Amino acid sequence: MSISSHRLHAVRASACLALLSAASLTAAATLEVEITDIRSSEGQLMVAVHASAEGWDGKAAPVAAQLHAPTGDSAVLSFEGLAPGSYAVQVMHDQNGNGKLDANFMGMPIEGYGFSNNPEVMRKATFDEARIEVGEGGARIQLRLR
């Protein structure tokens, strides 16, 4: 190998390292979700963060999820390592531990649930209605259970 090809190789290697370093600096953000109006300390909160309408509609896995045992009327959960972008969050308070949102005889939920942006709808919010933006510096949202 000649001296000029060594230099070219060194320049390419340096450029690759610089790109990798820059990517790692902007690749992760934290989303903090404050959940309010928790009615009971029984059961667990099931929280899912989705990055697409497909995920929101159950056709893809959430990008992040947590189970949390509530201890008061509010809770704060952190989702770390998210790429900056658009997300939607949904929460279900599974008070009796059966893994589903229970409803009364008319189909109205009897356990707490909520969506990011707290849309006032009498159905599951759409991804666009619940969409939030997480920037490079992260984001903090408040989600109110119904």
DSSP one-letter string for 29-41: EEEEEEEE----S
Among 111, 128, 114, which residue's Cα sits nearest to residue 44?
111
- Strand-pair partners of 142: 34
pLDDT tens, position by position, 41-98: 999 999 999 999 999 999 999 999 999 999 999 999 999 999 999 999 999 999 999 9
- Say how far apart CA 126 and CA 11 lie, in whole Å: 48
pTM above 0.85, yes or no: no
Q: pLDDT at position 42, please?
A: 96
Give 65's strand partners: 48
What is the set of domains in the chain, with CATH numbers? 28-144 (2.60.40)
**Cα dihedral sign for 107, 117, 60, 138?**
negative
